[in-house]
Amino acid sequence: MTLSRRFLLLAGLVATAPVSASAQPAPARAARAARPTSAEQPAKAQSPSAQPPSAPPAPTQAGAPSAPPAPPRPAVSRVVEALARTLTPMGQRAVVVAAPLVSDAAAPRAAQLTALLATQLAGRLGEGAQARPEPAALPAARAAAAGAPALVHLAAEIAAGKLRVTADVYPVPRTVWSRIRDAEPGPVAHGFAEAPVDAEVRAYLAQVPLVAALSVDRARNFESDVVALACGDVDADGAPEILSVSRRRVSLLRLAGGKAVPVLSRPWADLAGVHPTPLREPLGFATLVAREQGGDALPGFADVGLTDRARSLRLDGKLQVLAEMIGIALPDAGGTACTRVWGLHLSGALGACAAGDAPPASGSVGGQYDAFASARLLTPRGEPFAVWAGRERGALELRDSAGRRQVLPTAGAQIALGDLDQNGEPEILASLDVQNPLDDAVVVWTWPRPALQAARAAPGRTKDAVAPDDDKPREALRLPAPAGVHAVAVCPPDGPGRAPFVVATTDEIWVVR
């Protein structure tokens, strides 16, 4: 089922997609960041010699504390951990065999993936369990487990952007008479687990062509002042939602009949008070934070911030307020961190937004930015890394947790980060820095990571033609948006192709894949 159809079927009130979703700053109209009058700024901002605060803002003063969001872990680890918890102790000392992979994407290394699943699960089942690397259907698996106390048979499937694994525990007849009485006994334990496809799983599948024709589903929006978007599965129901933040309301959307329809919507007037000195053109952020425990997805939450409002908010899947937060909640490596707006820019130290939050992945914003984005991604080996992007004076500064830095000389004020082709290299999505909305577009750059070449040069895959010192972002896609780009966000993968992304224009919401 395509993403747009899943939105059409959404009846109510999300990552990895983890997964995970990144957040987008609101437009300063892709062309510019308009400068407010002095009356619109805090007193300190009017002093040229004033410096941004050196200490992060205080955490939330109201609302229930939330558990720290677990960072996205490799899909294989999440799946086998959940299965092991379900199957223990019935699966102890068992032989683990996986059936041939079923996949909606070409999988040239399918046997290696199923062997990895079987090996990882056997290791978690404890001493005495062992895995057979060759995939086998159930009759052959029973024969392979002869003499063992039990057989754990796995059925792995890749569909709609997810790795899904079913596990059944079968007793193995030990004597001739037991085989005569019941040669093929039924399962005595059953488990199921799933996780979004990530770069590690994608390494076993056919590569996704990043440079390919785009498909755009357009829906007329019910409001024209959207300033931020996020996309993900905030309520852990398996279907992604679109979170829209405008100057008037926060909404969860679905696409139906060519229209963007609010499934849930809360006016800002009911959520947070007005900021005493709002900017003329606001900065806004929306971050969907995924959580998981023991391999199982938990309901996440949405952190939203808008310079029109005195507080940022943490909302649940029904847009109920979980916490109020001082300052602006920015995306930070799969979670959020809070800072203050200083003059016209985001600058200074970052701090935990709410009680119980993990420490920020980055100690400071990193510059004086009028747009900011961050994401936590995975390499093909399942190793997590973080990426940040901030726009300063029209240039987009990029950095990651490995210490790499690059600069795009020009970019608009709507930016997002993600991994559209799930190959472990981040994509940067940005509007254009233009005065006329008719000239606007969404441009996608890919940021090569030469350090991943060895990981991706596995049997059956070709090594990327990237020089070890060539990690400059390269333009991959360009989508004209003559109505002007107001916000952009990357969604979790929902099929065998690229992960989709969503765009808000003046009067429409687009789902692009």
Neighbours of 187 (CB within 10 A): 15
Helix and strand counts by DSSP (H, E) for the chain: 7, 31
Please give the pLDDT value at position 179.
60
The radius of gyration computed from the CA coordinates of the chain, to the nearest angstrom, equals: 24
State both tokens at 287.
């971050």
| Whole-angstrom distance, CA of residue 283 vs CA of residue 285 | 7
- d(Cα 298, Cα 201) in Å, to the nearest integer? 21
Structural domains of the chain, ranges and CATH numbers in brackets: 3-33+214-453+471-512 (2.120.10), 75-197 (3.40.50)
**Is residue 94 a contact partner of residue 149, using CB atoms and an 8 Å limit?**
yes
Residues 6+ apart with CB under 8 A from 138: 99, 153
Q: What is the pLDDT of residue 135?
A: 97
> Shortest CA distance to 303 belongs to which of 228, 359, 409, 406?
228
Q: What is the pLDDT of residue 316?
A: 94
Read off the amino acid at residue 419. D
Residue 118: which of 143, 101, 139 has the closest Cα?
Answer: 101
Give me the residue label for tokens 């159930």.
Answer: 138
pLDDT of residue 373: 98
Kindly report each contact of residues 208-213 with a partner whose C-beta sits within 8 Å and lies 24 or more positions away, as own/partner. Answer: 208/420, 208/421, 208/422, 208/423, 208/496, 208/497, 208/498, 209/421, 210/420, 210/421, 210/427, 210/444, 210/446, 210/476, 210/477, 210/498, 211/476, 211/477, 212/497, 212/498
User: What gap in Å lies between CA 18 and CA 286, rounded to an integer?
Assistant: 17
Question: pLDDT in tens for each of the 513 residues of the chain?
Answer: 444 433 433 333 333 333 333 334 433 333 333 333 333 333 333 333 344 444 444 444 444 444 554 566 899 999 999 999 999 888 788 999 999 999 999 999 999 999 999 999 999 998 889 999 999 999 999 999 988 999 999 999 999 999 999 999 999 887 556 665 666 889 999 999 999 999 999 999 999 999 888 999 999 999 999 999 999 988 888 788 999 999 999 999 989 889 999 999 999 999 999 998 888 889 999 999 988 877 778 888 999 999 999 999 999 999 999 999 998 999 999 999 999 888 888 999 999 999 889 899 999 999 999 999 999 999 999 999 999 999 999 999 999 999 999 999 999 999 999 999 999 999 999 999 999 999 999 999 999 987 665 444 544 444 444 444 578 999 999 999 999 999 999 999 998 999 999 999 999 999 999
Q: What are 146's two structure tokens?
A: 């002869």
- Alpha-carbon distance of 49 to 33, in angstroms, equals 22
Give the start-end residues of each E strand in 197-282: 216-220, 226-232, 241-246, 249-256, 259-267
Could you tell me which of 256, 231, 307 has the C-alpha nearest to residue 504? 231
**How is residue 351 annotated by DSSP?**
B
The count of residues in the chain is 513
Please check whether residue 296 is in contact with residue 252, taking contact to mean a CB–CB distance below 8 angstroms: no
The sign of the dihedral angle between the CA atoms of 310, 311, 312, 318 is negative
Q: What angle do CA 315, 318, 322 make, to 5 degrees?
A: 30
CA distance 114 to 98: 6
- CB proximity list for 47: less than 8 A, separation 6 or greater: none
Which residues does 9 contact at the CB level (< 8 Å), separation at least 6?
1, 239
Task: At 405, list the tokens.
Answer: 């830095």
Secondary structure (DSSP) of 275-295: PSS--SS--EEEEEEEEEETT
pTM (two decimals):
0.83
pLDDT at residue number 4: 41
According to the model, what pLDDT value does residue 416 have?
98
Whole-angstrom distance between the N-terminal and C-terminal Cα of the chain?
A: 13
Whether the Cβ atoms of residue 23 and residue 230 lie closer than 8 Å to each other: yes
Copy the structure tokens of residue 348.
Answer: 């200074």
> What's the farthest any 2 CA atoms get from each other in the chain?
91
- What is d(CA 3, CA 370) in angstroms, rounded to the nearest whole number? 31
CA distance 363 to 440: 33
Question: Which residues, 6 or more positions from 507, have their beta carbon under 8 angstroms from its beta carbon?
Answer: 220, 221, 224, 483
